[in-house]
Structure 1
Amino acid sequence: MKILRYVHYLYLVMAILFLYEGIVKMQQDENPIVVFLFAAVAIFMFFFRRHFSNKIQK
């Protein structure tokens, strides 16, 4: 169960990768809106999971 403490950081890594992919798509004149939406959802999930994991630990 110790791994559950670090799973929410996976969402942060995914958000960074999606942001990078969105910037690359923007430079290639493609539509990066969907990729940036995935990045926003990943950032939201990071804070959501971190909040509830801290709540459970208390």
Structure 2
Amino acid sequence: MIKILRYTEYLYLAVAVISLYKIGELWSIDRNQAYIFIFFAVVSVAMFLFRRNYRKRFENRRDQEKP
């Protein structure tokens, strides 16, 4: 289960990287669409940090319960 959580963390980072690429691509063409991708990038990075913190807390709790 922990491995799945680790992979989903990096999926959020992948979405952030793709969003940053699209921002660079769209900035001079359509700023409104670029702003949407800025939102996606920020939310993706925030979700990465949240999920990482949650996973580490879960691992620490699991390790403390083992005798």
The answer, yes or no, to whether TM exceeds 0.5 is: yes
Q: How many angstroms does 1:5 deviate by?
A: 2.3
RMSD of aligned Cα (Å) = 1.0
Matches within 5 A, 1:1-58: 1=1, 2-28=3-29, 30-31=30-31, 32-58=34-60
Unaligned runs of 5+ in 2: 61-67
CA radius of gyration, larger in? 2
Divergent runs of 4+, >2 A: none
Compare the two structures and name the one with the higher helix fraction: 2
TM-score norm. by structure 1 comes to: 0.89
Q: Distance in 1 between matches of 2:17 and 2:44?
A: 9
Gaps of 5+ in 1: none
Aligned length: 57
- TM-score, normalised with respect to structure 2: 0.78
